[in-house]
Amino acid sequence: MSGPKVVRIVTREEVLAICEAHLHRLDQAIAAWTVSGQRIRELSAEEIAATHERRKALAALIAKDAFMELQKKVPARKGNGEPGIKTIWQGLKRVPDFATGLRYVRKLGD
């Protein structure tokens, strides 16, 4: 292939904005998950605390300027350790669906 090649340099500020956006989406997902889990009384204080600790650990990567490490944790989990932001966020988005199904099953039992 001939012709000019285009290379775009991503600044530190842009990378920081990307990482902060990931954490913001995670915060929204955690909030929705917590509300749904508490509403159906299927979420323990330990589970909530563990989730918040995991979120703090991810935020600490930004504080340490470990942007590459944080971005590596974003892709979907492949069974190799702790889940990344993207995996947690995708799973937490489904909590209301599971809560609805659980309520339906409980109604059938009554």
pLDDT exceeds 60 at position 75: no
Looking at residue 3, what DSSP letter applies?
A: S
Q: What band does 76 get if pLDDT is binned at 50, 70 and 90?
A: very low
Most confident stretch, 10-14, 75-79, 104-108: 10-14
**Nearest 5°: CA angle at 89, between 103 and 101?**
15
Cβ proximity of 58 and 73 under 8 Å? yes
pLDDT exceeds 50 at position 13: yes
- What average pLDDT does range 23-43 have in this prediction? 84
Rg for the chain, CA atoms, rounded: 18
Q: What is the pTM of this model?
A: 0.60
Query: 52 φ, ψ to 5°?
Result: -65, -35
Cβ proximity of 55 and 27 under 8 Å? yes
pLDDT exceeds 50 at position 8: yes
Q: What band does 81 get if pLDDT is binned at 50, 70 and 90?
A: low
Domain ranges for the chain: 12-109
Tokens representing 27 are: 């915060």
| Model pLDDT, residue 50 | 87
